[in-house]
Structure 1
Amino acid sequence: MSLLESAGFSRSNPYYVVQQGKIAALTLMKNSERLDLLKEIGGTRTYEERRRESFKIIQNTGKYFLLFIFKISHFVYKKRKHIDQVVQNLDERLKELDEEKEELGKYHDLEKQRKSLEYAILDKEVQDAKQNLAKKSIGPRFPKYQQSRMTKEHQNFIKEKEVSENLQTKALQKHTVLELDLKDLQAKTSGNTHAKEDATKQPEMLENEIKVSMDELDKIIPLYDGQVQEEKDITKRIMECEKKLSILYQKQGRATQFSSKAARDKWLQKEIDDREPVLSSSVMQEKNLVEEIARLNNEIHGRDENIKSRRTNLTTLESHTAMLRKCSNDYKVKRDELHEERKSLWTQENELTAITDKGKVELEKAEKNLQRAIPGGIRRGLNSVRKICKSHNISGVHGPIIELLNCDEKFFAAVEMTAGIRKWWTCYIIPLNRVRAPDVTYPQRSDVIPLIQKLNFKDDYTPAFRKVFAGTVICEDLDVASKVARTNGLNCITLEGDQVSNSGTMTGGFFDHRQSILKFMNIVNKSTDSIFHIKEGELEQVKLKIHDIL
């Protein structure tokens, strides 16, 4: 009765009007149709629909949870891959900037070399101008051919100055272009630096997002487990209620359905036979569900292990990244040190090259001056003697006296005036084993020095040098020279080149130290020894060091 009242029937309305045919349909419908009608009247269909929707929500929740974890892992992978690509691009750009920086360093080195050349040219012009001015101040003492030579040299200097000015203009233009390129490179470097800083910050932001997501996940998992457990409890209670309701329906129906116990037992046996396939199917389904649950648990466990492995790999990568950053910083410091050392070696190389070039120029100039000072006939005669000795392998010819002696520069005038132009520019072949040097007694005075004592030469050449220089002493002044020549019968000479012979005649006058033959010969000898042996050796060592650094 209560069931009918809940369906809309009322005791106070005994004349309830229903549609035609409804009563007949109720009496003639099957048990399954009557059960569906009762479920619809009792509202249990809505419950079953909600129950199915709850099962779908639970299944979707598990899928969404796994999908959420997968999306987080995929997002982290894509972000890390993007960051690696950005860092790789930045490294390539930094490498290009380093190459451009090296080119800029080469430009600065060339600029320094240009300035040093300009300074050398300017200094050379100043020195030449001073020499020209000094020569002009004593113009009447120079022959006409020297004045014409000076005019030609002056014109050459003017041409060299014009060439240097043109080179300077081109260098300034190139300097301006390179300065503009430098500004562009600095702007690009600044932009790349900002981009690298942003790329460096992205891993930190990503790690923060991962940390926040993991915190949210740690909060969601307990809630999810609680909801799952609550859903299981509710499902269990629903199943128990359904079972009780079914038993009640069965009892209510059986009370009026069967007329005897035998009919009831027959119907029950038939129901048991009908339910056995359903029971076996349910048992099989339960077994499959248990296996599916075990598989899902294993899959969840595997994903947990994968997450732990990913976290471990992330920690390892972070430590490896820190180590690589440290190594990169160390290599950058070492690179800067090698760069500074290379710059220092380049500077040293430029200095040695400048010294060598300057020495070669001085050597060439001294050789030209020496060649101009020696008459052509004498020069050709000496060259012929050298060729004959070389072709016939004659080892006993030692060369001219000028090439065999060495002395202090302050004695150049005394030596040249003592030997005389005649002895320098007239070829005498002196056999050393035939020379008999005179025995000379020198005065024991502090203002008188034998000239031969101030000469440096090999002992093998002593007879020849005593033959030429033994009879001459160096005196402090002309008064002392006159007195010694008169009393001791020796040839006397002062450091300025004034001579007093033992016969009483006095010779001398102006001696141009700039045109000294011994000076030119000394420059040639020193330049040959220092430039081609010492400086070039040092220059080669510096080049080897630069090659090792590169």
Structure 2
Amino acid sequence: MFIKNIIISGFRSYREQSFPDGLSPRTNVIVGKNGSGKSNFFSAVQFVLSEKFFNLSAVERKELFHVGSGRPSLSIFVEIVFDNSDGRIVIPGRAEELEIRIRRTVGLKQDEFRVNDRRFTANEVHQLLESAGFSSNNPYYIVEQSRITHLVTMNEEERYQIIKDIAGTKIYDERRSESKRILDETKSKQEQISHSISQLEGKLRELEKETIELKELQDSEHEKKCLEYCIFNLELENCKEGLFKLEAEWSSRKTTLFKNQESETLTEQEIQTCEDQLAEISGLMSRLETERESIEKEISILSNKQTVIDLDANDGANSLHRVDKEYAALLKESSDLENVLAKVKKDALDKRDMFKKSESLAIKSLEEVDQIQKLADHMQEKRNRNRLFKNQTERDRWITNEISKNKETIDNSRSELQSVEKEITSLDEAIKLRKITKDTTHSVEKVEKDLESRETKITEALTKRNNLNQKRRQLWQIVHEQENVVKHLEESLKRTHQKMERIIPYEIRQGLQSLQEILKEFDANTRKAVHGPLIDLISVEDGFQTAVEIGAGNTLFNVVVDTFEIGAMVLEKINKKRKPGRISFFPLDTCKGFKKNIPETPECSSLLSKVSYNDRFTKVVAEVFGRVAVVASLESGLKFTKELHLDVITLDGDQLGRKGAITGGYIDKLNMKLPIYANEKSLTLTLTEARKKLDDLCQELASVEQCITEVLNELEFLRAENISTERKADEEFREARQREEHILRLSSQKETLLSTKRTLAKNIQESIEVNNRLQDELGEKFKINWTEEEELKLEKLSEELASMKINYVSLQAQPLHLATEVQLMEDKVQHMERRKAMIADRIREIGWSKRTTHGLDRERDSLKHESILLNDRLNAIKKSIDASIQQKEEIQKKMENLNLNQLSKALSLQEKEDIIDKTQAQRNLLLQRQDEALNKLRKLGIVPKGSEKYANFSLGKLMHQLKCVNESLKKYSHVNRKAIDQYTALQQSSNELVVQQTSLEQELKSIYDLINHLDMKKDEAINRTYKQIQYHFEEVFKELLETEDTYAELQLVKSKSNKDEDPYCAARICVSFGMGTVVSELEQLSGGQKSLVALTFIFAIQRCDPAPFYLFDEIDAALDAEYRMAVSNMIHKQSEECQFIIATFKTEFLTTADKVLGIFFHNKVSRIQTISMEEGIKMLRQVALADRKRNREAEYQDQITNN
């Protein structure tokens, strides 16, 4: 067994640490700088395995958490993975685990152990480790540097205590202390028992004297008992005689009282009927008053609405008169305007034709003038150039330059022309789009048609609303009547239910209620198997209800079930749920009832024949009624009881048992279970139907109100649609006019652009012609002077040009005049068309306003009709209220007479009841005296012997004899009546104490033997352990020094105490390193020698009690180099049998290590990883160099400080 891996998370300086390639099963050496985390690593192992970390406070747990960069962890854990191929650790229930994982997890409020993912307590983990060889008596499988120092500095007594701990004497000491405590307790008990026995013997002697006096007292008490028996028996006979006389008198008076009570009951029924009628009438009046108030409120609301509508209608009528006049004037103006507009349009068209003809003549004349002007200008320019330039070269250069400029001008003009053409195209598309949009607008006829259609729908909706309002009022009336019916039924059912609660025992009612609640938790089959109480399953013939109810009693409420198991299951569920009440069952499979043959005669018949039921319940009904006959009277019943040997019952409920018992008396017919129960069922059914009808009516009323809401919403929607249509039509007509005006503006822009286009085309053509002429001139020969012919041609052109300009001026005046006239006429047409559109809009608005006025008239007529209906209903309600008041007064008068009659009967009944109560009080007094006599006789028990001698004594003589006996008993007042019982009890206690004393003596002997045995075993364990440690101590010392003249011995120092204590008190170490005498004072040795002796002692302990692995923390710190090598070789040799994990600052252990681990510390986080031996040696040298540097700096600082 060895440690395969150690996983650390969040423990101190280790955030996340594990060994991916595992640990060596032999020697593992850990190296690193001071403060890098070696001690924390060993603490992590002890955190899981050592007991000193088992009980941690909250503060100590918090100190274990890793503190570094990043988010702090909420919990930490350390997990040690053991190779368990040798089966050294055995987990209960999982004996063959090849790998054991022991994990300990700690949070701020958590501390748990898990072994192979199973939760263990700390104590269980401790026991598991002890079973694997980790002895709590030998904690030296984990050795820290401080422990070596402690072994060197400890005294001999402490060293001896270590030997005792390894020997396991702690267990012996604990058992011996426990035995000593038990011994002391046993001695104390023995002393107490001896003292108690002596006290009991003294009390027994005193009780022997008291027993004699007690026997004399008992004789006197026996005589007193005989006298008391005779006195009580005589009193009982006297009471029986008095009761017989009072019974006859009480029975006669009770019969008269029953008759009077029946009469009073009938009066109470009549009063109750009147009260029900009054309640019904009051409910009706309340409903009618509520409806009257509601209708009056509606009439008020309708009156207000009608007033508002009348005002609106009157205003509408007045405005309609004014509007009609305006409407006629607008129609006339529209007609006149249409005629004038047609004439103006025709005149404008004629003028435009004249303008176009005149304009074409002027343009043609202008073109001819331009042509001659261009030719004359060219000749003039040509002549000027000939004068300007000296030679042809200069002229050609200038012409070429001009041609180039003209081409550039042509290009710019063409570009501008393209832009103008694009704008014209864009305007054409916009005009086309406006014309298309204009075609899609709504016409006036369509709008008028839509408005007319909605007005028709509004009229229909108003009619529907009025009809629904009328239906709603009718439904309100019906609902109020039905609510009154339901309320009356609920009150009747409540009274009936209260009667049922009075006549049915409370626990039975609770039981039936619990049954109903518990059945909801069962499935459907179980619920079907429970048929309910017997009273629900039978019906009784009229006239026999009293006999059936008295005969059955409370069995009427026994619940019928299919099987005994069903009843038991239901009862178990009721008990489990702690439901209140009691309940009885009739299982069909266990009931064996049968119908007894009873002759059917006028005077006698079977009670079962008067009951109707389902055939499947025959046995249950026969069990209750099968052996009972119903008879006409008690006299005939007595005869049938003797003949048929069965119980009989009369129609009035008097019973006669077959054994002779007679039971009967007055029965209140108003409080009979069967009729009240049947009435309750009937009322429940009727109430359910009435509530259903009320729900249907309420649902219908809600549906009607929903329809009214929908109609009102439809009216609002139609009116809103009318307004929206009118507004939309206005907007569309206004948009249409705006589109027409926009089209005119676009057309005007287009004309301007077309004129610009013509100008640009003309400029381009002129520039081309100039270039052509310049090009022609470029090919001509340069002349300085013109010829006469050319001069004449130029003069001729000038004269022709002047004549043509005069003609053009005369032609140009007429188009200008016509253009002005055309523009004025077109402006007038536009103005007249706008006026025409405004007139059309106003005519349309007037038409719509007339429609609104007609709608108000319809609404006013509707409100008048509804008001008439409400007034009719209000008058009917007032008549009903007057009739109800009259009927109520009549019933109240009748109730007053009945109450007076009942009062007189109640006074008479009270007098008779008082007499019966007095008779009953006398009877109760005699019964009380009779019961007291009986109780006294029962207390006396059986008839005492010798009482017959007082049988003929009178009551006075008996009382005298009793007084004499009581006087004689007074002298025995001091006698202890429990003397005999006390004597017997004390004698028994004395015998028991003697037996306990004998048992305690045997226990003392056993405890002494156990203590001696423990002392012997303890001495044997100490001697055995000492010899083993001494042997291994000497052997290890020689192996480490490797010389023959060495000497090492572990000596036990005997104590000078008594035999009850340890024979030894200390352990002394004597060693010789082969260089002198034997040394027993370790202070005389050097530091390295002390450490070597301490390690020898530790190795000797480990060989005496070996563990599967060892952890050494810097055990070689104080060793000399030669000793370090020897210790390293020894560990390497022992690693064949166990595992070593060693932390060191020296290089000797690295030479024998199977695996070298380096600890690195960065950003407050420690990390361990596998390194090579050379890397380990290099790291140790760096550590040593850093230490020397630090020491030199410290010495330097000390020197500075001293100076």
Higher relative contact order (CA 8 A, sep 6+): 2
- Judging by fraction of residues, say which structure has more strand: 2
Give the TM-score of the pair, scaled to structure 1.
0.42
Give the TM-score of the pair, scaled to structure 2.
0.22
Larger Rg: 2
